[in-house]
A = this chain, B = another copy of it.
Amino acid sequence: MKLFASLGFDGTSTKAIAKEAGVSEGLIFKHFKNKEGLLEAIINYGMEKASVYFSEVILISEPKKRIKKAISLPFTIDPNDNQFWKLMYALKWQRAEYQPSPFVLFRASLVDAFEQLGYDNPEVEATLIEVIIDGVATQILLKNIDAGTLLETILNKHSLN
């Protein structure tokens, strides 16, 4: 994960992975069949942890609170998961096939929340939340921004406090 996140999938050799892990190169292929299999294992591992956070949002019944929680997600990224999310965002731009299903349910729950609140265009409102989450995640993962006041500012603009 460390190497894929910093050098990219194609930029990382299986030899380098073996060295970093302190094992022989052959062992990688015994365990994961091929390089692609290793990537899939990493993604599955990460998404399993990530889907916990998504559920936490979806399970909130009060629509305003649900949207609030959704926006706060990128602000609460566990620094230990930083490399995973960097890898996920990097993959976004290269591999359309790796857009996992948890995201679909997440979006649907946002649309539902805005419908409950009687917004004119729930779909567009949900897209805007996704836009903000994507943008905040980008800034947090790549730069070191003053996240504290930013969350408040966003919630203000969206009348969510």
* Chain A interface (Cβ < 8 Å from any Cβ of B): 7-11, 86, 89-90, 92-94, 96, 121, 123-125, 127-128, 130-136, 138-139, 142, 145-146, 149-150, 153-154, 157-158
Q: List the B side residues contacting A158 at CB < 8 Å.
A: 157
Q: List the B side residues contacting A154 at CB < 8 Å.
A: 128
Distance in angstroms from A4 CB to nearest chain B CB is 11
A11-B10, A138-B138, A157-B157 known; A145 and B127 CB under 8 Å? Answer: yes
Selected from B8, B10, B93, B96, the residue in CB contact (under 8 A) with A89 is B93
A94-B7, A157-B158 known; A149 and B121 CB under 8 Å? Answer: yes
**Chain A interface main SS type:** helix
